[in-house]
């Protein structure tokens, strides 16, 4: 599970990452990555933070929560690969509900790597 310091919790932070971040998409997820600017509420050299968007188009509440838990577990595993000072929002697409674990892990890893290249 992600620690509180590694989670995006404010709506304005989500909006900021989605609007200003570098996007990378696959069939199952869209990953937005942004480096926090100086003067932000969270310091630029602070821990990497992840946020998750799983809309109703993904499925019913049970399916959405399952997808969100899987994405959180993937993010926890990738936490050490992301440099500090970045915010990442992972948006699940409807196809994520039927994706296997290796497929979802591969898609998130590839999208995150591409997003970090673009954000640098």
Q: Where are the domains of the chain?
A: 4-119
The fold of 4-119 is: Ribosomal Protein S5; domain 2 (3.30.230)
Q: pTM (2 decimals)?
A: 0.92
Residues contacting 65, CB < 8 A, separation 6+: 54
What would the two tokens of residue 104 be?
A: 């979802």
For residue range 64-111, list pLDDT tens digits in order: 999 999 999 999 999 988 988 899 999 999 999 999 999 999 999 999
For residue range 5-59, list pLDDT tens digits in order: 999 999 999 999 999 999 999 999 999 999 887 666 667 778 999 999 999 999 9
Q: Running DSSP on this structure, what letter comes out for residue 67? A: H
Q: Side by side, which strands form the sheet with 86-92? A: 22-25, 29-35, 86-92, 49-54
In the chain, % helix, strand, coil (3-state, to 5) comes to: 50, 20, 30
């Amino acid at each position: 599970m992600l620690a509180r310091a590694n989670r995006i919790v404010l709506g304005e932070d989500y909006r900021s990452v989605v609007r200003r971040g570098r996007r990378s998409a696959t069939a199952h997820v869209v990953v937005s990555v942004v480096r926090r600017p100086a003067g932000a509420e969270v310091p630029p050299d602070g821990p990497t933070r992840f946020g998750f968007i799983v809309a109703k188009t993904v499925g019913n509440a049970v399916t959405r929560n399952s997808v969100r838990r899987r994405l959180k577990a993937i993010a926890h595993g990738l936490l050490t690969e992301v440099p500090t000072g970045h915010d990442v929002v992972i948006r699940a697409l409807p196809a994520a509900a039927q994706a296997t674990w290796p497929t979802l892990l591969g898609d998130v890893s590839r999208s995150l790597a591409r997003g970090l290249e673009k954000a640098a």
